[in-house]
Structure 1
Amino acid sequence: MISNNFRNIHGMLLLDKPTGISSNKALQITKKIFLAEKAGHTGSLDPLATGMLPICFGEATKFTKYLIKSNKKYRVIAKLGEKTSTADSYGEIKYVASTRFSSNQYRTALDRLKGKISQVPPIFSAIKYKGLRSYQYARKGIQVPLKPRLVKIYKLHSLYRSKNIIELEISCSSGTYIRSIINDLGNFLKCGAHVIFLRRMQVSSYSCNSAITIDQLNFFKNKYFKKSKKIFFKKLKKLLIPINSIVSSLNKIYISLKETVNIQNGQCIRLFTRYQNGLICIMNTKKKFIGLGKIKNYIYLYPYRLINKNLYNKYNLYEQFHDKK
């Protein structure tokens, strides 16, 4: 334990965010349950949305950007014929239109949303404009120019359609706004559309089937905390994923304990086998995670983003990650 009863813990929790609260609120609730000194999430979900929201604690927060920039998978239900101010059911209805279009027109509209596309983020979003979030302007009725962004839609499947209700499954690149996809679909069909249900099914290789809910965390707390804090925190620790799993898609390099000391002291080391230039996951010969390094000129390894060496031996930050077969 450290001051103010907060704990220095390190690792990642796969949280299944509930609907009706912001990602930051879900983060703060989780952080309080874990009594964690430092925590951050890996990419916002709309208050309406549920699903995968990885929470990083302690040293794991150094590597959150590798999940923020990863691909995502969503399940969305939308209502056609109504356009709202927020592109979801939380907003005010702006207009109502007929949903008279053919199946061929519907398929054509969906096809226009596949592949590399340019989309304008919703005005009610967390994107910054002149130092403020876009939604802060939107709440005051102020329109701000948000720049279109290129995103990639890898897969877009129509799962269900009945009258004015549709369900889609979407696999996409980071930075994609599902509300914008639905809004554009409504524009293509000339009837308007908005999201009524949204669930993030997957972030990178992490599926929401492996995630835990806030209700389940509170169940653990109510069952164990008063009886034994030690048992409670042991239960929570078992839910954490090792830090190096976040960067498991990167190639690994194993270095000696002496080389580990050099890297941790900010020095580069020379390698005697050629590697591709770029980022690489550094492990020592005991399979303990050191951090990330950069290969330059194919034979030099430079430290890039490392686990704090003062915490390295004190905390269990380096558990070996076993790739899923």
Structure 2
Amino acid sequence: MNRKPRTVFRKLDGILLLDKPQGLSSNQALQRVRHLFRAEKAGHTGSLDPLATGLLPVCFGEATKIAGLLLGSRKAYETTAVLGLTTDSDDADGAPLLRRDVPGFDDARIEAALAPLRGRIRQRAPIYSALKQGGEALYAKARRGEAVEAPERDVEVHQLRVLDRASDRVRLLVECGSGTYVRSLVRDFGENLGCGAHVATLRRLWVDPFTAPRMFTLDELQAIAEGRGEAALEACLLPIEAGLGGFPQVRLDPVQARRLGQGQRLRLEGAGPAGCVAIHDQAGRVLGLGEIDADAILRPSRLFTWATEGASGAGPEA
């Protein structure tokens, strides 16, 4: 019996904007592209449910150091809410819980049901979610039939509006902050209408700073790998700098860059307001992230390996 050859992994840095297909978990999609690119290290930036499709940024190598920043970014989704049926997972993959009649709703009634779900709101997570309770994911407890008390937390919904609707279906555009569950928004929208609702389709459109993303499907990537080779596949990756577009930039001269690589603090005149910054060398290559305090002192917080390569000697602080 012929066995599939074992993947030989390699060091690879960059960000892939994957168009996740329906039916795969985020981790399953991650493992497929990791093997396709033969990347030693990979991580995704925020899970999508198996039912969901759309943008899943995948970080390879040193880019995994900024995955947490992308995880907390603003996001946008398009979703279809089916009225009249609630499920235990709040989406079409779940078991039916309650069926109710769907009366005719005018635009004013729909708007009244959406209005309380905008802005800074308190939201109860779905019981089938990756949130942990007692060190274990809620979905694991729910699958065993245990009673699950889903937590509530504050989330930010920047935009929630109707794209179109017909009979028992409403297509919505959602723009929200980190930690928001679209399934919960649709569930609560249905309860506000008095008939219940669940998510039938869900697509992530963008994640800040990738607001107009060129996404690649698994099929596209496979075709590129088989037809054009590994170099063409690597050309699908974005540099790490693309994930830091929202941060103010600080450029260092060679002496400053060497001191930074040694973990030293640097005094920067005219560095601008205090806060988190992306640190670049004179050629424009990103070296890492740092914090500038009120005294214009730059402290490195997260450096990439090339920032420390070749940095030797102690030297005084700048």
Q: What TM-score, normalized by structure 1, do the two folds share?
A: 0.90
Among 235, 240, 262, the residue aligned to 2:237: 240
State whether structure 2 residue 81 is matched by structure 1 residue 87.
no
In 2, are the aligned partners of 1:270 and 1:301 still within 8 Å (CA)? yes
What is the RMSD computed on CA atoms of the aligned residues?
1.7
Alpha-carbon shift at residue 205 of structure 1 (Å): 3.1
Mapping of 1:202-281 within 5 angstroms?
202-207=206-211, 209-224=213-228, 232-281=229-278
Mapping of 1:294-313 within 5 angstroms?
294-309=291-306
Structure 2 segments unaligned to the other structure (5+ residues): 1-5, 311-318
For 1:77 and 1:130, the matched residues in 2 are separated by 33
SS in 1 for 2:260: helix
Greater Cα offset, 165-174 or 295-304: 295-304
Partner residue, 1:128: 132
Q: Which amino acid aligns with 2:36?
A: I
State whether structure 2 residue 97 is matched by structure 1 residue 100.
no
For 1:202 and 1:4, the matched residues in 2 are separated by 31
Among 58, 64, 69, the residue aligned to 1:66: 69
SS in 2 for 1:249: coil
For 1:256 and 1:208, the matched residues in 2 are separated by 33
For 1:239 and 1:312, the matched residues in 2 are separated by 27
The share of aligned pairs that are identical, in percent, is: 38
Partner residue, 1:287: 284
> 1:292-321, CA deviations, whole angstroms, 9 ceiling, x for partnerless residues?
1111233211111011137868xxxxxxxx
Among 79, 93, 100, the residue aligned to 1:76: 79
Distance 1:220 1:274, change over 3 A: closer
Alpha-carbon shift at residue 189 of structure 1 (Å): 1.2
Mapping of 1:15-34 within 5 angstroms?
15-34=18-37
Distance 1:143 1:195, change over 3 A: same
Q: Which amino acid aligns with 2:137?
A: R
Q: What TM-score, normalized by structure 2, do the two folds share?
A: 0.92
Mapping of 1:91-170 within 5 angstroms?
91-103=94-106, 104-170=108-174
Alpha-carbon shift at residue 101 of structure 1 (Å): 5.0
Kindly tell me the number of residue pairs found equivalent between the two proteins.
304
Greater Cα offset, 205-214 or 125-134: 205-214
Structure 1 segments unaligned to the other structure (5+ residues): 225-231, 314-325
For 1:245 and 1:256, the matched residues in 2 are separated by 22
Distance 1:4 1:107, change over 3 A: closer
For 2:72 and 2:29, the matched residues in 1 are separated by 20
Runs of 4+ in 1 over 4 A off after TM superposition: 310-313
Alpha-carbon shift at residue 105 of structure 1 (Å): 2.2
Among 35, 39, 42, the residue aligned to 1:39: 42
SS in 2 for 1:33: helix
For 2:248 and 2:213, the matched residues in 1 are separated by 26
